[in-house]
Structure 1
């Protein structure tokens, strides 16, 4: 039974986060190398804008904002699932190597597989999912044993090792590639929001439409998995089955996000912790908030990154890392 005051607090925070996202989105619409005055936003939305205003708004700014929101939400939810499944507060798809696995798969696909431009956008999340799932499987196998089960600290260490090894493979792959393809992969590694167009939104949206409700439905199972294994088994939970299903869900969410945003870490680490600090550790309460916080964090990072420097700006992944790396060190020392 969830206390009524906590539910009320969650609703207030949920609405507040929606307002914060809307405010950041409006601010992001008017900022950039191509100026778009705020008093022209509503006329442009109503179809009364000039050609330039329509192009900047509907072809550049709006799809980029939606992509960053969706990707941030997916990364945050993926991190929350991983932290629950592994019982490790330091788990994050970027830190433990899942994003790197997706990146290597995308690099191989991009460099060596001939594919038509029309299907490229929709195949990317599938390819990223295959690479991320294979990586997650190896990390899981190396982190667990029959005697002690899954070892949370071991998982983080092995995940970091896999991440470094896969980054080395990525460097080997791009060392002999064409210049244009190298530039693409370098941007991906830096966490540059490259898939900022409407087809990429339609490519990532179905994954979230399916997986977000499914995860919220599984929230109570996640609560049970955070308990010790004997207690969870006593409550009738099939631990390995639930872990496998939720791990695949987390991998799919992370892969769909990084396939269009590049290698962005720490969103999945920070968003769940901030949400838990607000309403406590019950998944029914903090997961909806973590989703919104993740979307807002990536949107804010991208808005800051593309306006902080002239020319191409600073990739969102680097801005997030500047905030997330110290936060990771703080959690590591604390836990």
Structure 2
């Protein structure tokens, strides 16, 4: 009877997860359609359909295929990547407030990318496709620094100490980035300031192709680690008792989370709170098991960034609000709410 009950509960959980992810997919598709018609140049539903099937004017095809669709696709990829990165960070640190932005990973990636875009044009000898690699180097060095500073012999890595160390390192890197911007000419300063605010600056297909290989490799890898992450959510002693190589698995997942965040930051700028909000909302919808939590986090993140970018392009036309500011308006109050609900 107990086995039947457990089996029925598991079946209901899976059915709920499938239903939730189906609803999220429909919401993403709906927002996708709305976003294609959001901008200074309006495209009616008829115009959209005709343009998609090659019957639009040259101007309509330029607006849709060269300006809007790349940005929409990048928004979805960024949202999925950052939310998955946040889900990994929260899982391996066992801290509900962990986020690649709060841990300083985004700042480390951003520093290297900012140095490149500040002193070299994107048409220089180093191609756009190299930006995610540069970002990964910066993020990996930052993660290593945080790990070294947070590690204590005989205690290992304590989640709270890791978070506090990450916040301190992120603050230091952010201060260094501000100092560096003071040396830029006005044109470069404006570009870097917009990037730091979280504007999706990579808005053509070459940026999509630069980001896509990273996500196509990392997302399936992370999904295969769902059961491992379930075990790592337990105490270290319990996880070792179940046969998990805790330190090795944590290091692998940390590398995957860093790579996801870094590749997204390379084309999105400083978009924060996605890695915090996405996993939390997903957990409320599908529960804590990572078999459902990981894909749900990716979908919530994609929907969040796509919606934020659409709002940013619509709110004060013909100007735009950087996507990072919109997510901050949503994420900052939610972060404070989580702070009040988190013990210790």
Task: Tell me the TM-score range normalised by the shorter chain.
Answer: over 0.9
Q: Is the 8 A contact 1:78 1:253 kept in 2?
A: yes
SS at match of 1:100: helix
Runs of 4+ aligned residues of structure 1 deviating over 3 Å after TM superposition are 111-119
Alignment pair present for 1:249 and 2:256: yes
Alignment pair present for 1:126 and 2:139: no
Q: In the aligned structure 1, how far is the partner of 2:297 from the partner of 2:98?
A: 15
The equivalent residue for 2:307 is: 300
Alignment pair present for 1:267 and 2:267: no
Alignment pair present for 1:101 and 2:108: yes
Displacement of 1:219 after TM fit? 0.8
TM-score normalised over the length of structure 1: 0.97
The equivalent residue for 1:224 is: 231
Equivalent residues in 2 for 1:1-335 (5 A)? 3-112=10-119, 116-117=123-124, 119-335=126-342
Q: In the aligned structure 2, how far is the partner of 1:321 from the partner of 1:114?
A: 29
Displacement of 1:115 after TM fit? 7.2
Q: How many residues align?
A: 335
Q: Is the 8 A contact 1:93 1:99 kept in 2?
A: yes
Q: In the aligned structure 2, how far is the partner of 1:319 from the partner of 1:115?
A: 26
C-alpha distance 302-116 of structure 1, shift in aligned 2 (>3 A) = closer
C-alpha distance 114-327 of structure 1, shift in aligned 2 (>3 A) = closer
What are the Cα deviations for residues 61-112 of structure 1, in whole angstroms up to 9, with x where unaligned? 1111000000000000000000001111101111221101011111222334
Q: Is the 8 A contact 2:305 2:327 kept in 1?
A: yes
Q: In the aligned structure 1, how far is the partner of 2:199 from the partner of 2:123?
A: 23
Q: Structure 2: any 5+ residue segments left out of the alignment?
A: 1-6
Q: Is the 8 A contact 2:39 2:317 kept in 1?
A: no
TM-score normalised over the length of structure 2: 0.94
Displacement of 1:114 after TM fit? 7.6
What are the Cα deviations for residues 132-164 of structure 1, in whole angstroms up to 9, with x where unaligned? 111111112222322222111122221111111
What are the Cα deviations for residues 247-286 of structure 1, in whole angstroms up to 9, with x where unaligned? 0100000011111010111000011111111111010011
Displacement of 1:126 after TM fit? 0.4
Q: Is the 8 A contact 1:275 1:286 kept in 2?
A: yes
Q: Structure 1: any 5+ residue segments left out of the alignment?
A: none
Q: Is the 8 A contact 1:107 1:173 kept in 2?
A: no
SS at match of 1:3: helix
Displacement of 1:297 after TM fit? 0.1
SS at match of 1:126: helix
Name which of structure 1's ranges 278-287 and 171-180 shifts more when overlaid on structure 2.
171-180
Q: Is the 8 A contact 1:92 1:268 kept in 2?
A: yes
